[in-house]
Amino acid sequence: MAQMTSSATWGQSAERVVEARHPRIRIAHVGIDARGVDDVEVAFHCPTCDTELILGQAEDRALSSLLALGRPRGFRPEPAVVPRRAPVVQGDTVAAVLADPDVPVVSGDVPLAELANVLADRGADLAILVDRDAQPFALCSACDVLRTAQRFGERMTALSARHVARSGIFTVRGDAPLSALVSLFCEEGATNVVVRGDDGRVLGLVRAHDVLRRLAG
């Protein structure tokens, strides 16, 4: 009786046959695998880039490798084109994209119920918390307030905004080059960046789509 061969063993045998026939051509991997995604992340130089772009580029590379197997021995495909980052507008500063200067700025000691009223009245999804010197130190979103209210109920009246705030915020000066802001979004993983003035006080809040809007003109 013929011995059954596992799919893994068969796949390894197939790769050896291809390597023997096409020694200069990289083995094709059809579909998306971890190596393909890693290769694309390196090519993009941006671990936080859009997932769909990563998967789409990895699929293109897998298909190109598969098609290359039918080409003559010694054929060397053109190197993959690495997409370049969109250039930021030269001379622009962070202040040029400050689209949300009216974000609520409240003391970290304000009662949580009062913060809820501020967010509701202003129609805002988050607030910037500042210390006694008016320096920003945290963000508190509407979801943070709702989550606390659901957990503590009426007892939330004993809590202040700082009890539920998210620390470790990203800040940047308003006169900093726009490239500094892009680095925070693309390389540090920031989603909201607090913009400060020369004295450290809050000027407003910037999100990634504010920069995209500027680049789009």
Domain limits for position 64 = 10-68
Same domain? For 107 and 197 the reply is: yes
Q: Please say if the pLDDT value at position 128 is more than 70.
A: yes
Distance CA 92, CA 158 (A): 45
Reported as a single tens digit per residue, the pLDDT across 35-91 is 555 554 555 554 545 555 556 666 666 656 655 555 555 545 454 444 444 455 566
Cβ-Cβ contacts under 8 Å for 62 (sequence gap 6 or more): 28, 29, 30, 31, 32, 33, 36
pLDDT score, position 48: 47
The number of C-alpha atoms within 13 Å of 47 and in the hemisphere containing its C-beta is: 5
Residue 208 β-bridge partners = none
Could you tell me what percent of the chain has a pLDDT over 90? 35
Q: Please say if the pLDDT value at position 211 is more than 70.
A: yes
Q: What is the mean pLDDT of the chain?
A: 74
Quickly state the pLDDT bin for 165 (edges 50, 70, 90).
Answer: confident
pLDDT score, position 25: 44
> Which tokens belong to 56?
């789409």
Distance CA 13, CA 192 (A): 51
Same domain? For 63 and 98 the reply is: no
Helices (H) and strands (E) in the chain — how many of each? 7, 7
**Token match 């390894």: residue?**
12
In a domain, 34, yes or no: yes
Quickly state the pLDDT bin for 139 (edges 50, 70, 90).
Answer: very high
The better pLDDT of the pair 205, 64 is held by: 205
Indicate whether this model's pTM tops 0.75.
no
Q: Which range (30-39, 75-84, 194-203) has the least confidence?
A: 75-84
Same domain? For 115 and 208 the reply is: yes
Q: Please say if the pLDDT value at position 30 is more than 50.
A: no
Concatenated DSSP letters for 175-201? Answer: TSBHHHHHHHHHTS--SEEEEE-TTS-
Reported as a single tens digit per residue, the pLDDT across 173-187 is 999 999 899 999 998
pLDDT score, position 11: 44
In a domain, 158, yes or no: yes
Angle value at C-alpha 134, between 133 and 135, nearest 5 degrees? 90
Distance CA 12, CA 26 (A): 14
Same domain? For 208 and 152 the reply is: yes
> Which tokens belong to 182?
């892009």
Residue 96 is given by DSSP the state: G
In a domain, 197, yes or no: yes
Distance CA 213, CA 96 (A): 11
In a domain, 151, yes or no: yes
Read off the CATH number of the domain in which 121 is found.
3.10.580.10
How, if at all, do strands 202-207 and 136-141 pair? unpaired
In a domain, 147, yes or no: yes
